[in-house]
Amino acid sequence: MPEAKFRVKRYDPEQSAVQNGAGRDHYDEFTVPYESSLTVLEGLFYIQESLDGSLSFRYCCRAAVCGSCAMYINGTYRLACQTNVRHLGDGPITVEPMPHLPLVKDLVCDMTDFFAKYEYIEPHLMRNSKVPDKEITQSPEERKKLDGPIDCILCGCCYSSCPSVWGEDNYLGPAALLKAYRFEVDSRDEAKKARLPYFDNERGVYRCHTITNCVEACPKELNPTEAIQWLKGAAVRRRLLGRAK
């Protein structure tokens, strides 16, 4: 039976408090046997169930659609459920929480700021005109503009990977701005300038220096950098030229 060696970063706030933070940077090693196929998430469950009940990590759909299990695996942003150990080479598999975020415990990061920023950009369709009795029509071409940004699962990989986020706590980051873009390019949205103040400000699009780590980190192969550049253009057009959209 094949085996995978897991090297898992551990952090326990309760232990760290009594040990003056000494527990912060240690790794535990585990050996996980498997039959033919093993994902990193399945490996973590094996460890939690059979080797060390104290291990903490997030999980839900195990099908790469919920965004819970974003982690840093062998130095790459990945969804643990979508990562098969077969594709990770022969060496030990190093599993760490997403870097540059505050920690809750082990592989669980604190996502409070991430979701506060998502809420800040007013992530909803804005309409002023009366809604029709039936659907608001939208051509397939208009709808196609939403492909991509609507597939964001808000896993946080882009946010964790962004040097502008590391350097500036207030920066909204790629995921929240991609969400703003998703509504700005929706033919049904009538925000005109209403959403502008939330991304056209010192917390918003100008903090993006097109480093494109977010593009590399995204497990859904989305392109937040491009969306942010579009928002910059839109902001300038509206400010300088007075255009609504």
Partner 1 sequence: MIYHELVVVGGGLAGLRAAIEAKKQGVDVAIISQVWPGRSHSGAAQGGVNAALANHPESADDTWEKHAFDTVKGSDYLADQDAVAQMTKDAISIIYEMEHWGCPFSRFDDGRIAQRPFGGAGYPRTCYGADKTGHYMLHTLVEQAVRAGVTMYVEWFVSRLVVDDGVCRGVVAYDMIKGGFEFFQSEAVVIATGGAGRTYGNSTNAIISTGYGMAMAYYAGVPLKDLEFVQFHPTGLLTTNILMTEGARGEGGYLVNGLGERFMQKYAPKAMELAPRDITSRSIQTEINEGRGIDGKGYVYLDLRHLGAQKILEQLPGIRDLAIHFEGVDPIEEPIPIVPSQHYSMGGIDTDMDGRTVLPGLYAAGECACVSVHGANRLGGNSLLETVVFGRRAGAAVVEYLGGPGAKRQGAAAGEAALKAAHARVEELAARAGTPGAEDPYVIRAGMTTTMKDHFSVFREASAMRVGLDKMMELKRRVKNVGLRYTGGVFNLDMIRTVELEGMVDVALGIAAGALNRTESRGSHSRTDFPDRDDARWLNHTLAFNTPDGPRLDSKAVTLGMFEPQERTY
Residues near partner 1 (CB under 8 A): 12-14, 36-37, 48-50, 52-68, 82, 104-106, 108, 110-111, 115, 119, 122-125, 127, 131, 133-140, 142-143, 146-147, 150-151, 153-154, 183, 186, 188-189
Q: What gap in Å lies between CA 199 and CA 196, rounded to an integer?
A: 6
Region label for 98, one of left (φ > 0), alpha (ψ between -120 and 50) or beta (otherwise): beta
Question: Which of 62, 206 has the CB closer to partner 1?
Answer: 62
Q: Name which of 179 and 232 has its Cβ closer to partner 1.
A: 179
- Give the shortest CB-210-to-partner 1 separation in angstroms: 26
Length reported for the chain: 245
Smallest separation, CB 215 to partner 1 (Å): 17
- CB-wise, 77 or 232, nearer to partner 1? 77
> Which of 74, 75, 78, 96 has its CA nearest to residue 28?
96
State the nearest-atom distance from the C-beta of 156 to partner 1, in Å.
10
Residue 3 vs 52, nearer CB to partner 1? 52
Smaller CB distance to partner 1: residue 65 or 88? 65
CB 212 within 8 A of CB 164: no
3-state class (DSSP) for residue 215:
helix
Query: Whole-angstrom Cα distance, residue 158 to residue 227?
Result: 13
Minimum Å gap between C-beta 148 and partner 1 is: 11
User: How is residue 152 written in tokens?
Assistant: 């964001």
